[in-house]
Amino acid sequence: MTLTDGTYRLGPSTGRLLIRTGRAGLGRRAGHDLTIEATRWSGEAIVAVRDPDRSSVSVTVETGSLEVREGAGGLKALTDTDRAEIKRTLADKALLHIAEHPTITFRSTGITGTPQSFEITGELTIKGQTHWVTVQGKGSDAGPLRGWATVTQSTWGIKPYTAFLGALRLADDVRVEFEVARLEPADGPGLPPHAGQV
């Protein structure tokens, strides 16, 4: 995907936002490595290709929109009942507490690099707590923009899920990934869509 200067909308119509979990503990063979997708999210990217300091990204995710897409590993296949139970668990106070904290937000504070290899630093707010996170990203003319960040759940006051008296637990670190297949120009003022094509 070729980037040009401008202000763009982000969301499910332009890409995907995924969370990938891992397992820990003696009972990890019984669980699944989960792929969870945010189905309702929105954002804005301001792109200044030749001056990345002028670029920025902001994203808001509805915590109630997280859906389990895949469950790898485990002693048995992930069922629809399992998916529904995981969704209920995510809503719990010990995890995301979505009744009190209906959104997760990210606001960039700095962007460096090129459209082919870039780094975004910013503030991630989960459950009312804000901490720094670094996102690594890559792009090419022939494919989508992709990126990832490691989020340590306990830093944001999230207690990783446990079962079997703690023998099975989710790893504290989860991997957040994004893929942007196309950019939709946003309405309103922004950087002019002219110079900066790469």
The strands making up 168-170's β-sheet, listed across from edge to edge, are 23-24, 168-170, 162-163
Has residue 54 got a pLDDT over 70? yes
> Residue 132: what pLDDT?
97
Sequence-distant (≥ 6) Cβ neighbours of residue 37 within 8 angstroms:
16, 17, 18, 19, 66, 67, 69
Q: Indicate the SS3 state at residue 117.
A: strand
Strand residue runs (E) in 87-153: 103-114, 117-126, 129-140, 143-152
> Residue 77: what pLDDT?
66
Confidence of residue 198 (pLDDT cuts 50, 70, 90): very low
Span 2-21, mean pLDDT? Answer: 93
Distance of CA 67 to the CA centre of its chain: 13
Span 186-193, mean pLDDT? Answer: 54
Q: Which of 68, 65, 8, 70 is nearest to 41 (CA)?
A: 65
Span 13-29, mean pLDDT? Answer: 77
Question: 114 and 138 in contact (C-beta within 8 Å)?
Answer: no
Q: pTM for the whole thing?
A: 0.81
**For the segment 59-116, what is each residue's pLDDT rounded down to a tens digit?**
999 999 998 887 766 556 677 777 777 777 777 765 788 889 999 999 999 999 998 9
**Distance in angstroms (rounded) separating the CA atoms of residues 134 and 67:** 24
> Residue 192: what pLDDT?
44
> Residue 113: what pLDDT?
94
Span 179-194, mean pLDDT? Answer: 69
Question: 95 and 179 in contact (C-beta within 8 Å)?
Answer: no
Structure tokens at 90: 């995510």
Confidence of residue 169 (pLDDT cuts 50, 70, 90): low
User: What are the phi and psi torsion angles at 89 (to 5°)?
Assistant: -65, -40
Has residue 176 got a pLDDT over 80? yes
Has residue 134 got a pLDDT over 70? yes
CATH code of the domain occupying 6-185:
2.40.128.110
Token match 């340590």: residue?
152
Q: Indicate the SS3 state at residue 91.
A: helix
Span 184-191, mean pLDDT? Answer: 66
Q: Give the percent of the chain with pLDDT over 90.
A: 54
More confident residue, 188 or 23: 23
Has residue 191 got a pLDDT over 90? no
User: What is the overall mean pLDDT for the chain?
Assistant: 83
